[in-house]
A and B are shown apart, each in its own frame.
Chain A
């Protein structure tokens, strides 16, 4: 059997790339090691409750927005309609540091007004920063890494405001510790503040079902429980892949969403001669989902908090970093009669903390289970600094750690945002092998789909 393209991973980037290539007649197989599609943003059922793995909010909310908006591009490219996502916008979110709170909603005007109110001396600087961000072409695949901290500090002169802006942007999309690539900063500014948050009312399952239906229409083959053990290369060019079961599948091109370090493990030649090996990502998270006894008494959709004066975004010297975190309340989106909230949404909170993969890895059996329980409680106590309601009684909870992420998605260290070394053009040392998704560099739900689309388009253009 021979394919034009084999795609490694049925996460959002892999599915989007597959739809593009197959829509235009390519013979495409998606190979996924797990028994379910969706990768980092899948769904699961446990103890008769349905949960999303990674959904806080979808960024880039641009309802009926300009055609240049990333979400609108994505819809056109995949031949999907906005209605099919049943999106509901956030109500309001906030960034909380000791003594200062910055509320923001969808659209940059809202944050601009908060900044002018809380940081009057920075109001003009902030407007200039926004102009700089809007003028930057973040989709240019030729962009190189440059320090966002330096660029932003040149415009905003209050370090507290800078940290307050970086908090949500780093938590939602930085593989780098303490700094971000300026292009990635721009991507996230636009995604989070200029456009904003929404949620597919029913969670990720209907979205993934729709993507699967598009795959089927287009003729994509999806093989679950089919891991790729190695990529075959001859004369510097891809010739096929070998599955975990030892089957050889021939193809002309491979798109890998496994990550660059991970891809290098099963295809050493992907690191070109003389090139440094990509660094493994270090940023991972503990994510807990709590179903509270009573509806959550807080109106915010997402609260980003930092309990100290300066933001620290790096691998902690502890199981989790209790000084900062994110609280998501999925009940607080603007649901409607035909886009209703899922069961128990008003009683659910999700909390994210930065975690140390190495410490979690060394724990075995009961010690691991105990640590999860303990950290779940400590995390809630810490988060009550910004959302007192999370201190209430809990009737059910589920917690996942860097280890869970690594086990289900293969990302080394459970690094949700992958390696700090991105390859914007997707290219590797092997002709015909490209990276998509996390380590191509467009992150998140919308970002990873656009990543798959962009690299699939590049492949189609080169093939002609």
Chain B
């Protein structure tokens, strides 16, 4: 997957969790938690959707890598490169 495709994959997941949210305005380097008011249940959903859709495991110790959209893409790039 390209960087853009990974970005789209993440945005799609967040859009499923927050169907009413406008995804256009997400900034790459601001914490998702603050921009979208996500809580820990929502982060669990992102992790679980990644596993369901792409069979990617995100261990709990890596959850902080999902802090911003940018850091999430960077973290997932090596894991999703060959998809």
- Which residues of A are in contact with B by a Cβ distance under 8 Å? 24-25, 66-68, 73, 76-77, 79, 81, 453, 457, 460-461, 464
Indicate whether A464 sits within 8 Å of B16 (C-beta atoms), given known contacts A24-B52, A77-B41, A457-B44: no
CA distance A67 to B19 in the complex (A): 12
Q: With an 8 A cutoff between CB atoms, is B9 at the interface?
A: no
22 contacts between A and B (CB under 8 A): A24-B48, A24-B51, A25-B52, A66-B37, A67-B18, A67-B37, A67-B38, A68-B37, A73-B41, A76-B17, A76-B42, A77-B41, A77-B45, A79-B16, A81-B19, A453-B41, A457-B41, A457-B44, A461-B44, A464-B57, A464-B59, A464-B60
Indicate whether A460 sits within 8 Å of B48 (C-beta atoms), given known contacts A76-B17, A79-B16, A81-B19: yes
Residues of B within 8 A of A73 (CB): 39, 41
CA distance A460 to B51 in the complex (A): 12
- 0/1 per residue, B46-73, Cβ < 8 Å to A? 0010011000010110000000000000
Residues of B within 8 A of A68 (CB): 37, 39
CA distance A295 to B18 in the complex (A): 42
CA distance A127 to B1 in the complex (A): 54
- 0/1 per residue, B9-44, Cβ < 8 Å to A? 000000011110000000000000000111101101
Given contact pairs A67-B39, A77-B41, A460-B48, enumerate 5 new A-B contacts (beta carbons under 8 Å): A67-B18, A67-B38, A73-B39, A76-B17, A76-B45
Residues of B within 8 A of A66 (CB): 37
Indicate whether A76 sits within 8 Å of B18 (C-beta atoms), given known contacts A68-B39, A461-B60, A464-B59: yes
Indicate whether A460 sits within 8 Å of B44 (C-beta atoms), given known contacts A76-B17, A81-B19: yes
Nearest CB to that of B37 among chain A residues?
Answer: A67
Count residues on chain B whose CB falls below 8 Å from chain A CBs.
18
Residues of B within 8 A of A77 (CB): 41, 45
CA distance A24 to B19 in the complex (A): 18
Q: How far is the CB of A421 from chain B (nearest CB, A)?
A: 26
Those 3 A-B pairs whose CB atoms lie nearest each other, nearest first: A67-B37, A24-B48, A24-B52
CA distance A389 to B60 in the complex (A): 58
Q: How far is the CB of B73 from chain A (nearest CB, A)?
A: 22
CA distance A166 to B82 in the complex (A): 59
Nearest CB to that of B16 among chain A residues?
Answer: A79
CA distance A43 to B74 in the complex (A): 51
Q: How far is the CB of B22 from chain A (nearest CB, A)?
A: 14
Residues of A within 8 A of B38 (CB): 67
Residues of A within 8 A of B41 (CB): 73, 76-77, 453, 457
Nearest CB to that of B40 among chain A residues?
Answer: A457
CA distance A68 to B37 in the complex (A): 8
Nearest CB to that of A77 among chain B residues?
Answer: B41
CA distance A332 to B39 in the complex (A): 35
Q: How far is the CB of B70 from chain A (nearest CB, A)?
A: 22
Q: How far is the CB of A447 from chain B (nearest CB, A)?
A: 15
Residues of B within 8 A of A25 (CB): 52
Residues of B within 8 A of A464 (CB): 57, 59-60
Residues of B within 8 A of A81 (CB): 19
- Residue of A66, A68, A76, A460 most packed against chain B (CB within 10 A): A76
Residues of A within 8 A of B44 (CB): 457, 460-461
Residues of B within 8 A of A24 (CB): 48, 51-52
CA distance A24 to B16 in the complex (A): 14
Residues of A within 8 A of B60 (CB): 461, 464
CA distance A464 to B47 in the complex (A): 11
Residues of A within 8 A of B42 (CB): 76
Q: How far is the CB of B74 from chain A (nearest CB, A)?
A: 22
CA distance A343 to B36 in the complex (A): 41
